[in-house]
Chains A and B, each alone.
Chain A
Amino acid sequence: MSETNGHGELPGDGPRPGTHGEPAEQGYPAAAAEAPAGPRRVIGTPPPAQARTLLGRDGPTAQAAPRELPADPSDLGKAKIAERIAATCFIIATLAGIGFIAAYIGLPVHSVDAVLRSNLALGTALSLAMLGLAFGATIWVRNLMPAVELTEPRKPLASAPADRAAFAETFEEGTDASQFVKRPLLRRTLIAATLPLVVAPVVLLRDMGPLPGTSLRHTVWRKGLRLIEDVSNMPIRPSDFSSPGGMITVIPEGYATDDDALAKAATIIIKLRPEELQHPTVLNWTVDGIVAYSKICTHVGCPVSLYEQTTHHILCPCHQSTFDAPRGAQVIFGPAARPLPQLPITTDADGYLVAQSDFHEPVGPSFWERG
Chain B
Amino acid sequence: MRWITARRRHPAAGYAVVLLMLVAIGMGYAAVTGTGSPASASAPAGTSQRQIADGQSLFNKNCSSCHGLEAQGVSNIAPGLIGVGAAAVDFQVSTGRMPAKGPAAENGRKPVSLNAAQTHAIAAYIASLAGGPAIPAPAQVSTSGASVAVGQQLFIANCAQCHNFVGAGGALTNGKYAPALTQATPTQIYEAMLTGPEAMPVFNDTTITPQNKRDIIAYVTQTRSSTNPGGFSLGRIGPVTEGLVAFLGLLFFMVLAAMWITAKHGKTEAHE
A–B contact with Cβ pairs below 8 Å: the answer is yes
Chain A positions within 8 Å of B, measured between CB atoms, are 33, 36-38, 73-74, 112-113, 115-116, 119-120, 123, 134, 138, 141-143, 146-149, 229-232, 236, 239-249, 270-271, 303-311, 313, 315, 317, 322, 333
Residue in A116, A123, A143, A241 whose beta carbon sits within 8 Å of that of B227 in the complex: A116
Residue in B201, B208, B209, B231 whose beta carbon sits within 8 Å of that of A309 in the complex: B201
Closest to A73 in B: B266
User: How many Å lie between the Cα of A327 and that of B161 in the bound state?
Assistant: 22
User: How many Å lie between the Cα of A207 and that of B271 in the bound state?
Assistant: 71
Chain A contact residues, majority secondary structure: mixed
User: How many Å lie between the Cα of A313 and that of B161 in the bound state?
Assistant: 14
Which of B7-15, B118-126, B150-158, B240-248 interfaces with chain A?
A: B150-158
CB atoms of A119 and B230 under 8 A apart: yes
Contacts of B269 in A (CB 8 A): 149
Closest to B153 in A: A231
CB atoms of A241 and B40 under 8 A apart: no
CB atoms of B154 and A231 under 8 A apart: yes
User: How many Å lie between the Cα of A303 and that of B158 in the bound state?
Assistant: 11
User: How many Å lie between the Cα of A309 and that of B267 in the bound state?
Assistant: 72
Q: In angstroms, how far is the closest chain A Cβ from the Cβ of B104?
A: 13
Q: In angstroms, how far is the closest chain B Cβ from the Cβ of A174?
A: 47
Contacts of B157 in A (CB 8 A): 230-231, 249
Verify if B206 is at the interface (C-beta below 8 Å from A): yes
CB atoms of B158 and A248 under 8 A apart: yes
Are A38 and B162 CB-contacts (below 8 A) given A116-B228, A116-B229, A246-B204?
A: no
Residue in B203, B227, B228, B261 whose beta carbon sits within 8 Å of that of A246 in the complex: B203
Contacts of A243 in B (CB 8 A): 196, 202, 204
Contacts of B199 in A (CB 8 A): 308-311
Can you name 13 extra interface pairs (CB under 8 A) apart from A229-B207, A231-B157? A36-B267, A74-B266, A113-B227, A116-B228, A142-B261, A143-B266, A147-B267, A230-B157, A230-B158, A241-B206, A245-B196, A246-B201, A306-B170
CB atoms of B266 and A303 under 8 A apart: no
CB atoms of B207 and A240 under 8 A apart: yes
Closest to B159 in A: A305
0/1 string, B52-72, CB within 8 A of A gives 1:
000000000000000000000
Contacts of B48 in A (CB 8 A): none
Are A134 and B257 CB-contacts (below 8 A) given A305-B161, A307-B201?
A: yes
Contacts of A123 in B (CB 8 A): 231
CB atoms of B173 and A112 under 8 A apart: no
User: How many Å lie between the Cα of A303 and that of B160 in the bound state?
Assistant: 11
User: How many Å lie between the Cα of A37 and that of B271 in the bound state?
Assistant: 7
Verify if B270 is at the interface (C-beta below 8 Å from A): yes
Residue in B150, B202, B229, B266 whose beta carbon sits within 8 Å of that of A147 in the complex: B266
CB atoms of B196 and A147 under 8 A apart: no
Contacts of B174 in A (CB 8 A): 311
Residue in B154, B202, B265, B268 whose beta carbon sits within 8 Å of that of A244 in the complex: B202
Interface positions of B from 213 to 272, Cβ below 8 Å from A:
226-231, 257, 260-261, 263, 265-272
0/1 string, B154-193, CB within 8 A of A gives 1:
1001100110000000101110101000000000000000
Residue in A120, A147, A304 whose beta carbon sits within 8 Å of that of B268 in the complex: A147
Instruction: Name 24 interchain pairs, CB-CB below 8 A, sorted by A.
Output: A36-B266, A38-B267, A112-B229, A115-B229, A116-B227, A116-B230, A138-B260, A138-B261, A142-B265, A143-B266, A231-B158, A232-B154, A236-B207, A241-B204, A243-B204, A245-B201, A246-B202, A247-B201, A248-B203, A309-B196, A309-B200, A309-B201, A311-B199, A317-B161
Residue in A113, A146, A313 whose beta carbon sits within 8 Å of that of B173 in the complex: A313
User: How many Å lie between the Cα of A37 and that of B227 in the bound state?
Assistant: 58
Q: In angstroms, how far is the closest chain A Cβ from the Cβ of B217?
A: 15
Contacts of B266 in A (CB 8 A): 36, 38, 73-74, 142-143, 146-147
Closest 9 pairs between A and B when the two form their complex, measured CB to CB: A147-B266, A38-B267, A240-B206, A308-B199, A37-B270, A147-B268, A247-B201, A115-B229, A116-B229
CB atoms of A308 and B176 under 8 A apart: yes
> Which range holds the interface residue count of chain B?
35 or more
Contacts of A240 in B (CB 8 A): 204, 206-207
Closest to B154 in A: A231
Residue in A143, A231, A247 whose beta carbon sits within 8 Å of that of B265 in the complex: A143
Contacts of B158 in A (CB 8 A): 230-231, 248-249
Tell which of A143, A270, A306, A315 has the most Cβ of chain B within 10 Å: A306
User: How many Å lie between the Cα of A43 and that of B162 in the bound state?
Assistant: 70
Contacts of B270 in A (CB 8 A): 36-38
CB atoms of B265 and A147 under 8 A apart: yes
User: How many Å lie between the Cα of A115 and that of B226 in the bound state?
Assistant: 13
Contacts of B227 in A (CB 8 A): 112-113, 116
Closest to A271 in B: B202
Q: In angstroms, how far is the closest chain B Cβ from the Cβ of A302?
A: 9
Residue in B172, B201, B202, B260 whose beta carbon sits within 8 Å of that of A315 in the complex: B172
CB atoms of B176 and A248 under 8 A apart: no
User: How many Å lie between the Cα of A54 and that of B260 in the bound state?
Assistant: 38
CB atoms of B162 and A310 under 8 A apart: no
Q: In angstroms, how far is the closest chain B Cβ from the Cβ of A262?
A: 11
Q: In angstroms, how far is the closest chain A Cβ from the Cβ of B23?
A: 30
Contacts of A271 in B (CB 8 A): 202
Closest to A308 in B: B199
User: How many Å lie between the Cα of A240 and that of B208 in the bound state?
Assistant: 10
Q: In angstroms, how far is the closest chain B Cβ from the Cβ of A240?
A: 4
Closest to B261 in A: A138
User: How many Å lie between the Cα of A239 and that of B123 in the bound state?
Assistant: 26
Closest to B178 in A: A306
Verify if B212 is at the interface (C-beta below 8 Å from A): yes
User: How many Å lie between the Cα of A146 and that of B270 in the bound state?
Assistant: 14
Contacts of A142 in B (CB 8 A): 260-261, 263, 265-266
